[in-house]
Amino acid sequence: MLHAPHRLSLRLTAALLGLCALVASAQEAPRARARDLGVAPGIFAPGKYNAITDVAGVRVGQVTLVEGDTVRTGVTAILPHAGNVYRSRVPAALHVGNGFGKFVGSTQVNELGELETPILLTCTLCVWKAADAMAEWMLAKPDMQQVRSLNVVVGETNDGGLNDIRSRPVTADAVRRALETAQSGPVQEGSVGAGTGTVAFGWKGGIGSSSRKLPESLGGWTVGVLVQANFGGVLQVEGAPVGRELDRYAFQNAVAAQENTRGLADDRGDGSVIIVIATDAPLSDRNLRRLASRGMMGLGRTGSSASNGSGDYVLAFSTAESVRRAFDAPQLQTTELANEAMSAVFQASVDAVEESVYNALFMATTTSGNGQTVEAIPLDRVREVLRAHGLAPKQ
């Protein structure tokens, strides 16, 4: 049995190790979003914050959990609007690019074509704890006292390299804080929230976001994206072969006939990604399913092949008032966008997904945890590769 001074010493040591990891991260070279490097995929302009929160009403809350030298994880919450989502539901659809994952609530979303809770993102072995915590949080609301069924929606990626995932460190308090502190405006990116312990393309991954605003002649709609990037492949940035040039890519061992010495670098390109697409365009769940499927096109542009061991999910929803669904409505009378008006929305989503992945990578910081260290992608080297391929990034 440990005496009190020894227990105190262990707690202090764990706290100091966590602090050292944060200090090392803070001393790293400044990070930058994709557009700071001159990387601006597509043709449409971004919204004010170039984030999912450019879609009016959408809010994001994040809780980052860094404890001792083993816990590197967190929670990211996405709220579709300011009201009770159970009472005022938004149409939604989920596309499964590769189903190696745990996406709580997915079957009912696709069956009924709607969301009745916020969306949570976290680590693999914490999805059920997060789901239970959000259910408790919602059922405690004054207007939910008679509710006997609730379809909570929680996605995940596996951060078990940097995080002691088996300890299942996400708590109900962390989930409540993420939900209750959600706000509009700029979205934190990189090694935060559900992206605290993630890895992408062999570099530190994380949370990334982006948006596109369509011209008025195309409806003036806004499309916003948030990604939890934890996947692999052969990284390319607007077509430039960054992964190959930086000598870090999937199947590198087989191709180059060399021994993998980087520990966490995944030679198979495995991992996972959750992509959330929000829009104020009034879309039916059928067209949201079509929109969600386009998310894989944006993912493919970055170099992912949706490998066997990658859980690649895209959830899309519409915040438009004209397609909202009251939970007890006997009939739905909606005004929605026609098929012929979807093409620009598709284009906007593909471009925003691509940029969100770049933002997740470029904003992430070198992270140590659980006996491992994963480096942030070196932005100076990325700039060199872009210049060499004629993309002329900003200085």
* Domain contains 135: yes
- When computed from its CA atoms, the radius of gyration of the chain, rounded to whole angstroms, is 21
* Domain contains 395: no
pLDDT in tens, 145-186: 999 999 999 999 999 999 999 999 999 999 999 999 999 999
Structural domain boundaries, residue 235: 4-388
Band (pLDDT 50/70/90 cuts) for residue 302 is very high
DSSP state of 29: P
Q: Which residues contact 50 (CB under 8 A, 6 or more apart)?
A: 33, 35, 209, 210, 211, 355
Q: Quickly tell me which residue has 């994040």 as its tokens.
A: 62
* Domain contains 394: no
The residue-averaged pLDDT of 50-76 equals: 98
Contacts within 8 Å (CB) and 24+ apart, 324-327? 324/88, 324/89, 324/90, 325/88, 325/89, 325/90, 325/91, 325/114, 326/87, 326/88, 326/89, 327/86, 327/87, 327/88, 327/89, 327/116
Determine the Cα–Cα distance for residues 375 and 203; give it in Å rounded to an integer.
6
- With CA atoms as reference, report the closest residue to 319 among 94, 54, 132, 104: 54
Helix (H) or strand (E) holding 96: strand 88-99
DSSP state of 194: G
Our count of domains for the chain comes to: 1
Q: Quickly tell me which residue has 């072969």 as its tokens.
A: 241
* Domain contains 393: no
Which pair of structure tokens corresponds to residue 295? 């998310």
* Domain contains 121: yes
Q: Is the pLDDT of residue 27 over 60?
A: no
* Domain contains 204: yes
Which amino acid makes up residue 393? P
* Domain contains 252: yes
pLDDT in tens, 328-372: 888 888 899 999 999 999 999 999 999 999 999 999 999 999 999
CA 17 to chain centre: 27
Q: What is the dihedral of CA 8, 13, 16, 22, to 10 degrees?
A: -120
CATH code at 277? 3.60.70.12
pLDDT in tens, 213-263: 999 999 999 999 999 999 999 999 999 999 999 999 999 888 876 555 554
In this prediction, residue 259 carries a pLDDT of: 53
Geometric angle at alpha carbon 176, from 170 and 177, rounded to 5°: 90
Residues serving a catalytic function are: 272, 310, 312
Determine the Cα–Cα distance for residues 225 and 237; give it in Å rounded to an integer.
18
